[in-house]
Amino acid sequence: MSASIPASTPFPAFHLQRLRGERVLYLLVVLVAVLLWALLAVSVVGLLYALLLGIFFFLAHTVFIAHVRGSGVRLGAGQFPELHERVARMARRLGLKDIPEAYLMQADGSLNALATQFLGRSCIVLYSELIEACGDNEAALDFIIAHELAHLRAGHLRARWLLLPGLFVPLLGSAYSRACEYTADRAALQAAGQGEHALHTGWSSWRRAGGWLPGWISRG
C-alpha cells in the first residue's frame, strides 16, 4: 500500500498549471470513447470484442504489475532510503496526500521511467540506467521523479480503461497524451526547482527513450 504523508507535514502551496488545450482534448477523448463504447454495445459481437479486449488488457496489466513487484526493488527506509526520501519530498511538493509505491528496476540499458495505477493503487517505476545517467545532477533526478508523480497528481491515469477507445484514435490520442506530458513537465519544473538546469538536464536525457506504452501507463 502507498504510505500516507504525516498530517503534521506542511504541504506547500501548489497550483497545477495544465497545458492550454489539455482539458479540451480530454473532453474530445471522452466523447469519442463514449461513442465507440456505445457502438460496441449495440451488437452482441461488439460486446464480445469489448469483453475480450478488456480481459486482455487487464491480464496484461496484471502481468506487468507482477513483473515490477517481482523484479524491482521497492524503495523504502531499508532499501535505497535516500531515493525513497527524494520521492517523498517531491510528493509533498506536488501536494499529493499519499506517497505512491516506488520501484527501482533494471531495463537492459533503457533510459526510462513511468507511472501507473492498478486497482486504485498508484506507483512509479524508475529504471536504474536512467538514475545512473543523472549522476550527481540532483536537479535532473528531481525533475524525472516529479514528472512521474505529476501524472498522478493531475489524474492522467484516472479512468484510463474507459478512455482507451478514444486514446487509440489517431492524432487525437497522441495529441492528448502529449498535452499530458507537457503538463507533467510544468509541474515537475515547479516541484524540482532550479528551472532551466532541471529542464535541460532532466528533460533532454529522459526523452531519449521513445516508443509506445499501453494507455494505463504514462511515460515521457
Which burial class, exposed, middle or buried, applies to 171 when counting CB atoms under 10 A from its CB (0-12, 13-18, 19+)?
exposed
Q: At what angle do helices 172-192 and 160-167 cross, to 10 degrees?
A: 130
Does residue 149 surpass a pLDDT of 80? yes
| Digit-coded pLDDT (tens) for 68-100 | 898 889 999 899 999 999 999 999 999 898 899
Per-residue confidence band for 29, with pLDDT thresholds at 50, 70 and 90: very high
Residue scoring higher pLDDT (90 or 205): 90
Which pLDDT does position 3 carry in this prediction?
58
Task: Answer yes or no: is 40 within a domain.
Answer: yes
pLDDT band (50, 70, 90) for residue 111 = confident
Confidence check: pLDDT of 207 > 70:
no
- Distance between terminal CA atoms of the chain? 25
100 within a domain of the structure (yes/no): yes
* Pairing mode of beta strands 113-118, 217-218: antiparallel
- Three-state DSSP string of 13-52: CCCCCCCCCHHHHHHHHHHHHHHHHHHHHCCHHHHHHHHH
155 falls within a domain: yes
Cβ neighbours, 10 Å, residue 140: 26
Is 13 a domain residue?
A: no
In a domain, 14, yes or no: no
pLDDT at 2: 55
Closest to 89 (Cα-Cα) out of 7, 153, 145, 34: 145
Identify whether 35 is part of a domain.
yes
Residue 182 lies in a domain: yes
pTM of full prediction above 0.75:
yes
SS3 73: strand
Q: Which domain holds residue 41?
A: 19-218
- Position 8 in a domain: no
Q: Determine the pLDDT at residue 158.
A: 87
pLDDT at 215: 45
Number of domains in the chain: 1
